[in-house]
């Protein structure tokens, strides 16, 4: 019997590319996308379930599977404040991880950020680092954490700041010492996540931009 993969953040840049790739993996029988609004996919393997992230406990059964891909995230502008962003980037994701661990998911794959650190002076990187720390306490057989830099791709809702940096960073990152900050296509991150999910690995691992992508 094939595996069941669960994806949160399935409508984002990485999430969309990831769902497309997972639907084509022979060893995966079912891809469950948990979203706030209905999200259709052409593959019969993909099953969408609308959930209330404010009440994720009510959807605990939806987290039963083999793999959890956590690609959820927002920006301060979209959320309205740092406190509201933290609810999405830390609290929702950690609760989803807890529910998945309780439901028997063995492999947890998280999209974090380059420079993530719980002690960072940057609020965004601090949130990402804190989430990385917290999920390590959960009883997954395997945790894989991906730390890309600026993600490149066509978003449904444009982010002017990201667009500007996508023009500026590539030439800058050719300079010595800056290569590890180079932008990366969301499609490449998704491809790496699928590859990692298909191959054996240690109980805890990081995939950092300058080492892997």
Q: How far apart are the first and last CA of the chain?
A: 32
Q: Is 108 a catalytic residue?
A: no
d(CA 11, CA 14): 8
User: CB neighbours of 167 closer than 8 A, spacing ≥ 6?
Assistant: none
Residue 41 in contact with residue 33, Cβ under 8 Å? Answer: yes
Q: Looking at 45, 92, 108, 124, which residue is catalytic? A: 124
Q: Is 117 a catalytic residue?
A: no
CA distances from 97 to 70, 108, 207 (A): 8, 8, 19
Q: Looking at 77, 128, 163, 192, which residue is catalytic? A: 128
Q: What are the catalytic residues?
A: 124, 128
């Amino acid at each position: 019997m094939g595996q069941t993969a669960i994806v949160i953040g399935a409508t984002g840049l990485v999430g969309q590319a990831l769902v497309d790739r997972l639907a084509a993996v022979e060893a995966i029988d079912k891809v469950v996308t948990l979203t706030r609004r209905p999200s259709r996919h052409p593959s019969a393997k993909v099953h969408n379930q609308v959930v209330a992230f404010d009440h994720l406990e009510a959807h605990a059964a939806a987290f039963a599977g083999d793999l959890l891909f956590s690609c959820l995230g927002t920006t301060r502008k979209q959320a309205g404040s740092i406190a509201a962003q933290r609810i999405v980037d830390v609290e929702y994701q950690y609760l989803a991880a807890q529910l998945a661990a309780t439901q028997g998911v063995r492999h947890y794959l998280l999209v974090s950020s380059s420079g993530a650190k719980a002690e960072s002076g940057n609020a965004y990187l601090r949130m990402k680092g804190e989430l990385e720390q917290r999920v390590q306490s959960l009883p997954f057989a395997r945790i894989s954490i991906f730390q890309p830099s600026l993600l490149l791709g066509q978003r449904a809702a444009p982010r002017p700041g990201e667009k500007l940096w996508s023009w500026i960073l590539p030439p800058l990152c050719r300079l010595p010492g800056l290569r590890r900050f180079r932008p990366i296509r969301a499609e490449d991150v998704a491809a790496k996540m699928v590859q990692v999910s298909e191959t054996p690995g240690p109980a805890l691992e990081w995939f950092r931009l300058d080492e892997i992508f």
